[in-house]
């Protein structure tokens, strides 16, 4: 597992050291260690209940850590109350104050911190312009669309000039179209802050499209930390392999090992074709196809191996098919533990 | 049709009182006929002490009882809504038990208290038993209102750097305005209408609140029942309440139904 920046004492980003949170007999976060450099976006990715939101709450100071340490900008913030951590958080529900206008939602914190009125006004104008919210200044949250609410929530976080940005599934309340459009915009915005960003999501596309590094969590434990490409091509275990990639990876049994086959690395030919040197093959029947426009997902029913998903440009012409792959392309996992076995493929770079 | 009946049922007596208050006493007791008159009101307002004194006394007691009750109930309700479920349930049933306790049984004890602590004939001291009696119910009402506010709003405020008082003042209490308004009205109404404690704690005429004052008007003469004056007192006594209701009706209605929808 590679750590992107060497974490010395002068490290300016965010660093978690062996961070754990236990409630009763439950371990929500288990010995989590990772670093996020300034200007870097880290996605915490995993299914619901994997501990990603718990981790975010620990960093924000909303829940106390059971053990371990949180360092931000070279300072230990593990025991500090949220107000003193200089973090900003965007909540899944946005948590806008429903009784206050957009403007007051942004300015209330500054007012209560005793900032000068002129300065507040300047900051407000700047952030509202940046987020294109000027014309909504006087609206109440209930009078805004989902996308506008999200922008207000982001603006409220930005205006704090935080030392750390935390986002808890900020896109999950938006429709798919808007989410796709916003991803690039959000990435640019977050990177421009120049502070570490921790982004929680259960959506692999969001994590892959937004983050510099992805940390995959399962049951509170870090499974793998790396770039999207690294996680996709060189997963540490079956869980990571299955969690990333759409359609999901095909798994076929080979005794005590399991082969992981990415749908786009499979080829389809007519049944009975000769298998070339260094290739492996299964034969099966086409059960159905999903036409995606530029690609086709063919579901091929293979004896004793279930259905394989094959992603290809051309739709197969016959019903009896041979599915084949380069032996070097197959990922090998221990069938019981799911751990990646050595000697499988060398990571691609094409 | 049903609504009309309901309106008649609730407003009819009020109009009857208004009508009675504008007739001379003789006309009301069936002796002789009379036109309209303001004599009853004149008599009340120019009495000794003038009726206005009682109104002001009642407003003072009502306002101070309401303020005291809310000041105590808000922190209690907040704490209850933030405790762990098990602790909160135990404490809530205690509060509910207090709310259900028959207050009649406390009058003698309260009288003793008033004597020992020299609270008799102190107008504002009435707020103490009034707040005490209203507190359990108001705590329960406000606790439900706190529980209805998503916790994430308070967390957002926490991250914004607001301390407990600021979160209450700027985020939680404004969102609870309906529940606060209906609780306040409940306490105000209670102290406005309360009779036995006011009767036993206050003896000096110029300190009386409305309820005992009206009882005195009704029983002021052995030979005649002053229907007209009594009706006028009723009208004057309910006017401030009607005004309050009209002013805050929207908050009160949404406050009363708030808990009902979400269980």
> What's the rounded Cα separation, in Å, for the pair B173 and B177?
6
Return the SS3 of A346: coil
Residue A174's pLDDT is what?
83
Q: Measuring CA to CA, how many Å separate A338 from each of A229, A257, A259, A262, B20?
A: 20, 9, 11, 16, 90
C-alpha A184: how far from its chain's center? 14
Q: Name A346's Cβ contacts closer than 8 Å, sequence gap at least 6.
A: A328
CB atoms B156 and A95 under 8 Å: yes
Q: Does B119 reach chain A within 8 Å, measured CB to CB?
A: no
Q: Does B153 touch chain A (CB under 8 A)?
A: yes
What percent of chain A shows pLDDT beyond 70? Answer: 95
Contact B161 A113 (CB under 8 A): yes
Per DSSP, B1 falls in state: -
Burial bucket for residue A12 (CB in 10 Å: 0-12, 13-18, 19+): middle
pLDDT tens for each residue of B29-74: 666 666 777 878 888 888 778 888 889 999 999 999 999 999 999 9
Separation between Cα atoms, residue A297 and residue A289, nearest integer Å: 6
Q: Which residues are registered as beta bridge partners of A309?
A: A299
Of A1-15, A47-61, A296-310, A311-325, minimum mean pLDDT range: A1-15
The yes-or-no verdict on residue A3 having pLDDT over 70 is no
Interface test with A, best of B156, B157, B172, B254 (most A CBs within 10 A): B156
Task: Tell me the percentage of chain B whose pLDDT exceeds 90.
Answer: 32
State which residue of chain B sits closest to A86, comparing Cα positions.
B159
Q: Are A263 and A247 contacting, i.e. CB atoms less than 8 angstroms apart?
A: yes
State the average pLDDT over residues A54-62.
95
pLDDT for B119 equals: 86
- pLDDT tens figures, B113-166: 888 888 888 888 899 999 999 999 999 999 999 998 999 999 999 999 899 999
User: In this structure, what are the phi and psi dihedrals at residue A115, rounded to the nearest 5 degrees?
Assistant: -75, 150
Q: Are A7 and A35 in contact (CB under 8 A)?
A: yes
| Closest A-chain CA to B171 | A97
The confidence score (pLDDT) of residue A103 equals 93
d(CA B26, CA B18): 16
pLDDT at A297: 93
Kindly state the average pLDDT of the residues B5-22: 86
Residue A226 predicted with pLDDT over 80: yes
- Structure tokens, B85: 């479920």
Of B78, B68, B213, give the one whose Cα is nearest residue B133.
Answer: B68
CB A321 within 8 A of CB A282: no
C-alpha A132/C-alpha A195 separation (Å) is: 22
* CA A281 distance to own-chain centroid: 33
**Residue A175 contacts B, CB cutoff 8 Å:** no
Q: What percent of chain B has pLDDT over 70?
A: 90
The pLDDT assigned to B229 comes to: 81
Compute the nearest-CA separation of B116 from chain A (Å): 46
Q: Please check whether residue A77 touches B, CB under 8 A.
A: no
DSSP lists the bridge partners of residue A323 as A268, A282
Nearest CA in chain B to A153: B156
Contact A324, A281 (CB under 8 A): yes
Q: Cα–chain-centroid distance for residue A333?
A: 23
Nearest-by-Cβ selection for B159 from A89, A93, A98? A89
pLDDT of amino acid A340:
92
Separation CA A132–CA A112 (nearest Å): 25
- pLDDT band of residue A259 (cuts 50, 70, 90) is very high
Rounded CA-CA distance A16/A300 in Å is 45
d(CA B230, CA B51): 11
Q: Predicted ipTM?
A: 0.84
At A39-53, the pLDDT tens digits run: 999 999 999 889 999
Do residues A247 and A264 touch, judged by C-beta distance below 8 A? no
> Mind listing the pLDDT tens digit for each residue in B208-260?
888 888 888 777 666 667 777 888 888 888 888 888 888 877 777 776 655 44
A44 membership: H or E segment, kind and range: strand A41-45
Q: Which chain B positions have a beta carbon within 8 Å of A108's beta carbon?
A: 160, 170
How far from the centroid of its chain's Cα atoms is residue A268's Cα?
32
pLDDT digits (tens, 9 = 90+) for B175-217: 998 889 889 989 999 999 998 888 888 888 888 888 888 888 7
Shortest distance between the Cα of B138 and any Cα of chain A, in A, equals: 23
d(CA A144, CA A159): 20
**Nearest CA distance, B154 vs chain A (angstrom):** 9
pLDDT value at residue B260 = 41
**What does pTM read for this prediction?**
0.82
């Amino acid at each position: 597992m590679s750590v992107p920046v060497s974490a010395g004492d002068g490290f300016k980003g965010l660093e978690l050291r062996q961070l754990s949170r236990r409630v009763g007999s439950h371990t929500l976060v288990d010995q989590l260690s990772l670093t996020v450099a300034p200007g870097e976006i880290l996605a915490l990715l995993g299914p619901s209940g994997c501990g990603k939101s718990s981790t975010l709450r620990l960093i924000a100071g909303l829940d106390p850590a059971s053990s371990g340490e949180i360092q931000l900008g070279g300072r230990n913030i593990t025991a500090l109350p949220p107000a003193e951590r200089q973090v900003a958080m965007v909540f899944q529900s946005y948590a806008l104050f429903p009784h206050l206008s957009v403007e007051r939602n942004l300015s209330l914190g500054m007012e209560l911190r005793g900032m000068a009125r002129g300065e507040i006004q300047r900051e407000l104008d700047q952030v509202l312009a940046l987020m294109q919210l000027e014309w909504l200044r006087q609206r109440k949250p209930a009078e805004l669309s989902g996308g506008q609410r999200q922008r207000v929530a982001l603006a409220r976080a930005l205006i704090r000039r935080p030392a750390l940005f935390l986002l808890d599934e900020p896109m999950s309340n938006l429709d798919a179209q808007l989410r796709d459009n916003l991803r690039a915009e959000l990435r640019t915005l977050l990177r421009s802050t120049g502070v570490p960003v921790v982004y929680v999501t259960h959506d692999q596309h969001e994590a892959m499209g937004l983050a510099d590094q992805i940390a995959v969590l399962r049951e509170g434990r870090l499974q793998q930390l790396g770039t999207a490409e690294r996680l996709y091509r060189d997963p540490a275990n079956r869980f990571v392999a299955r969690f990333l990639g759409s359609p999901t990876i095909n798994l076929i049994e080979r005794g005590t090992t399991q082969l992981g086959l990415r749908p786009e690395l499979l080829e389809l030919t007519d049944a009975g074709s000769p298998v070339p040197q260094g290739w492996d093959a299964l034969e099966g029947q086409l059960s159905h196809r999903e036409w995606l426009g530029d690609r086709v997902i063919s579901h091929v029913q293979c004896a004793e191996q279930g259905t394989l998903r094959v992603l290809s440009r051309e739709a197969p012409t016959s019903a009896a098919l041979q599915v084949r792959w380069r032996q070097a392309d197959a990922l090998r996992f221990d069938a019981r533990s799911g751990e990646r076995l050595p000697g499988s493929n060398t990571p691609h770079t094409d | 049709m049903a609504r009309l009946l309901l309106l008649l049922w609730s407003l009819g007596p009020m109009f009857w009182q208004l009508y009675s208050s504008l007739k001379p006493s003789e006309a009301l007791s069936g002796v002789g006929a009379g036109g309209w008159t303001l004599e009853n009101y004149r008599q009340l307002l120019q009495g000794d002490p003038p009726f206005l004194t009682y109104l002001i006394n009642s407003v003072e007691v009502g306002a101070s009882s309401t303020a005291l009750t809310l000041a105590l109930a808000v922190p209690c309700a907040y704490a209850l809504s933030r405790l762990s479920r098990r602790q909160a349930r135990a404490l809530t049933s205690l509060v509910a038990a207090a709310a259900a306790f028959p207050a009649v049984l406390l009058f003698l004890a309260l009288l003793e208290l008033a004597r020992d602590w020299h609270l008799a004939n102190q107008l504002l001291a009435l707020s103490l038993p009034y707040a005490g009696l209203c507190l359990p119910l108001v705590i329960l009402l406000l606790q439900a209102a706190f529980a209805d506010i998503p916790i994430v709003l308070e967390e957002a405020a926490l991250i914004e750097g607001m301390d407990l008082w600021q979160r209450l003042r700027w985020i939680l209490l404004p969102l609870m305005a309906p529940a606060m308004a209906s609780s306040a009205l409940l306490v105000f109404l209670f102290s406005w209408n309360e009779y036995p404690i006011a009767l036993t704690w206050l003896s000096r005429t110029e300190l009386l609140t409305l309820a005992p004052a009206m009882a005195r008007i009704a029983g002021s003469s052995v030979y005649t029942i002053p229907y007209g004056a009594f009706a006028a007192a009723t009208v004057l006594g309910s006017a401030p309440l009607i005004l309050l209701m009209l002013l805050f009706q929207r908050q009160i209605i949404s406050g009363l139904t708030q808990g009902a929808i979400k269980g």
